[in-house]
Amino acid sequence: MKKGFALMETIIVITFISVSLLLLYSTFIGMINSSKQNRLFDNVSNIYKTYYLKEYLNLQGLTNYTTNSIKELTCNDFNFASCSTLTKKLNVSHMYLVKYGKFNYDEKLYSNNFNDYLHLLSTSDDYQYRLIIEFLEGEEYSYASLALGGSHE
């Protein structure tokens, strides 16, 4: 009788430890993925690059654009010859002008990283647009954004 109880007790303890380790593992993996993602979004260096790029583009007519959702900006949209040189020097892969707030867009047209970044951004401020810059450093894409066209600018 005691042998059966000991076996049952061992099975219950092993099950409890296994479930606890699985929960701990899934939480740990989630934290690692979150920290990797946060490292790619809005780091200080990229925010500074985005700020200086925004200021330079404002001088070249960035404020003349309007969009209802997302507009990809290229150097052809601006009238200055050094745009390509500037974007290469800053490791800019893509520039986007995005309508502030919630809107529908076709997520299939953009990368998963960009979609993840866009979903993390706040929509509660009173700005009109957001300039999002996608940087390519090595083989990793990272993002930074600044608000445009609000009362706080």
Instruction: Give the count of beta carbons closer than 10 Å to the beta carbon of residue 131.
Output: 23
8 Å CB contact between 148 and 129: yes
Read off the pLDDT of residues 73-120 as tens digits, 9 standing for 90 and up: 888 877 777 888 888 888 999 999 888 776 678 888 888 888 888 887
Any idea what the Cα angle at residue 144 is, between residues 143 and 147, rounded to 5°?
Answer: 140
Which pTM value belongs to this model? 0.71
Cα separation, 134 vs 149, in Å, equals 20
Residue type, 141: Y
pLDDT of residue 152 exceeding 60, the answer is no
Read off the pLDDT of residues 31-59 as tens digits, 9 standing for 90 and up: 777 666 666 677 888 889 999 888 888 88
Q: Of the ranges 102-111, 112-121, 128-137, 143-152, which one carries the lowest mean pLDDT score?
A: 143-152
Task: Enter the tokens of residue 110.
Answer: 């953009």
Cα separation, 79 vs 66, in Å, equals 17
Report the C-alpha dihedral over residues 100, 105, 108, 113, rounded to 10 degrees: 20
